[in-house]
Amino acid sequence: MPDHSPTAPFELALLATPEAVPELRRRLGAFDFDVQLCVTELLTNVLDHLGAGTPVTVRVTGTPYGRTRVEVTDPDARALPVLLAAADTAESGRGLALIDALARRWGVDQGPDHKTVWCELPGQEVMNMPGTVASTTAEAVPTW
């Protein structure tokens, strides 16, 4: 059952690395498991398709419809996510299927020099007020 306590918006600029995944989960501790899972899957997609060291910005905000919106922005507008049917024996390829199963909706917003993959989850209230941009150690990068 999701935690329905109000949570401030979250924004974090970092470099996508395998070590960043558990640290990001720790920082998202105030959010429910589904939010943490979606952020982890979207960050893992960046690692798998763009490589370690890719600068990303992770955001968790509320929507006017009472949903929780998860966004991961990266600098490659061309590498778009594709929902695949993974084989039973496949060791990867299920991330977007998980997001598709959990989210009310998901998609991609493209800019000229970046894309944002997002999903909206039911449940947890996120107060829409200006948040602060956090960073991870020396690997912080500016947001777009």
The mean pLDDT value for 15-28 works out to 95
pLDDT at 136 over 60: no
State what percent of residues in the chain have pLDDT above 90: 60
What domains can be seen in the chain, in order of their start residue? 10-139 (3.30.565.10)
Residue type, 35: V
Task: Pick the range with the lowest mean pLDDT from 28-32, 84-88, 133-137.
Answer: 133-137
pTM of the predicted protein model: 0.79
Backbone angles phi and psi of 84, in degrees to 5: -115, 160
Q: Which of 6-20, 26-40, 85-99 reaches the highest mean pLDDT?
A: 26-40
Please name the helix (run of DSSP H) or strand (run of DSSP E) that holds residue 44, with its range, or none.
helix 33-50
The mean pLDDT value for 36-43 works out to 95
pLDDT at 115 over 70: yes
Per the CB < 8 A criterion, the answer to whether 124 and 68 are in contact is: yes
Instruction: Look at residue 50 in the predicted model and tell me its pLDDT.
Output: 94
Quick one: tokens of 52? 């370690």
Instruction: Look at residue 81 in the predicted model and tell me its pLDDT.
Output: 82
Alpha helix segments (H runs only) across 51-102: 95-102
Query: Using CA atoms, how far apart are residues 33 and 125, in angstroms rounded to an integer?
Result: 14
pLDDT at 143 over 60: no
Query: Using CA atoms, how far apart are residues 65 and 13, in angstroms rounded to an integer?
Result: 26
Residue with tokens 């007020």: 129
pLDDT tens for 58-71 read 999 998 888 999 99
Query: Using CA atoms, how far apart are residues 35 and 40, in angstroms rounded to an integer?
Result: 9
